[in-house]
Amino acid sequence: MNYGRPYNLFREQLLNGSSSSTEEVQHILEKIEERKNLNIYLEVYAEEALNRAKELDDHQAQGNPIGKLHGMVIALKDNICYRDHHVSASSKILQGFKSLYSATATERLLAEGAIIIGRTNCDEFAMGSSNENSAYGNVLNPINESKVPGGSSGGSAAAVSAGLCHAALGSDTGGSIRQPASFCGVIGLRPTYGRISRHGLLAFASSFDQIGTVSSTVEDAALLLEVIAGHDSYDGTVSNHPVADYSEAIKESGNNYSVAVLEDCLNQKGVDEEIKSRFQEIISGISADGCQVAEATFPFLNYVIPVYYVLATAEASSNLSRYQGMTYGYRSSQSNSIDSAIRLSRSEGFGPEVQRRIMLGTFVLSEGYYEAYYSKAQKVRRMIRDYTNELLEHHDFIMLPTSPATAFAIGENTKDPIAMYLEDIFTIQ
């Protein structure tokens, strides 16, 4: 695989004068043009990125101090706001809409000298595990174009994998960064809920959604987290814990960690033999490096998918009620009254998967079913969380596969929603 230059390598060249931000942006724009067939970018900010690169080069040439991300070329998933730029969550319902403000994460990237190169394709409103639910067509996996890149942040993962940016932001509700990063052979980081502000992220399920990063190296992931994490007055759920110096912390040596391996997950029916084999290789490797590997069990494995889809779809039903064709975005041309405008705009504007999840969420929140489904799911969620915290009291890490299988063929699971939902079984715990 050729990812292009990781940012930490490019920065060395930037500082010794062997490269410049302008040269890097021009190079990446050429690669984007070469691989247009992957359908990764919904929009590329070519002229804007080149102007930004020139400003950064001039700033550096004048001997001014430079930011932590000076010249880093970053793509934004199409559900993260960037002021005066289109954002659509890859949905027809937000056709033509431009954001009135930037997400906090976007602002923090720009403040440290990053260059935003464009917005990437994704599953509509982050609902999917293959990037086949976008209103603008599916993304191809750059490693094997017959395979899906994963989802919902498939465009972001594919962009990094193909070397069409240094790094990208995505969002992860139930695996939407980690699974596509795995399928595309890159590093996907979903931080703890509340570590990064959700201000400016188009909501799917608010108690699960989290902005995260995709990069080609762990070092770049640590640096990005260091920049975008931390308190934000616009998000009441964000953590007030101080932001650690992650980029320095990963340099510390030491392998004397306790790692819990969830054997019942690894031996679950349906886990691909290739996944099991590679996972065992990794376990052997970290054991040889000095880690203490202990077997553990996860008795709630059969409940995580049902609990997640009850709660996440309930929150989606509520969050997506704001898109009704009356104030912004798509409005049906066939409507002749307020009622028909709302009904037709939502029916025509939302894709099949989004409609399916809205209907499921509305059902579990309806009178007579709220206590039977939603309330019970909240209780089981607490039990899962408590058990996970108990494991982490005795171990430094919990280790399990990202996905039960490798990247699957385009169209393979589109007619079976349950098979697609099961792609998330290891990432929603």
Q: Specify whether 77 is catalytic.
A: yes
Residues 388, 310: Cα–Cα separation, whole Å: 20
Please identify which of the residues 102, 152, 156, 317 carries the catalytic annotation.
152
Please identify which of the residues 77, 88, 153, 171 carries the catalytic annotation.
77
User: Which residue, chain included where needed, has tokens 């033999």?
Assistant: 273
Token pair of 200 as six digits: 């400016």
Is-contact 381 311, C-beta < 8 A? yes
Strand order in the sheet with 115-120: 41-44, 115-120, 73-77, 167-171, 211-215, 187-189
Quick one: residue 33, left, alpha or beta (phi over 0 = left, psi -120 to 50 = alpha)?
Answer: alpha
Q: Specify whether 176 is catalytic.
A: yes
Q: In whole angstroms, how large is the CA radius of gyration of the chain? A: 22
Residues 370, 377: Cα–Cα separation, whole Å: 10
- C-alpha angle 270-383-371 in degrees, rounded to nearest 5: 100
Please identify which of the residues 20, 88, 176, 317 carries the catalytic annotation.
176
What are the distances in angstroms from CA 111 to CA 18, 106, 156?
A: 24, 9, 21
User: Which residue, chain included where needed, has tokens 């052997």?
Assistant: 284
Q: Specify whether 206 is catalytic.
A: no
Quick one: residue 160, left, alpha or beta (phi over 0 = left, psi -120 to 50 = alpha)?
Answer: alpha
Strand order in the sheet with 292-296: 292-296, 258-262, 397-399
Of 297, 302, 303, the closest CA to residue 378 belongs to 303
| DSSP one-letter code for 145 | T
Helix residue ranges, H only, 267-416: 273-288, 301-319, 338-349, 352-365, 376-394
Q: How many CB atoms lie within 10 A of CB 287?
A: 13
Of all helices (H) and strands (E), which one includes residue 295?
Answer: strand 292-296
Q: How many CB atoms lie within 10 A of CB 247?
A: 18
Catalytic residues: 77, 152, 176
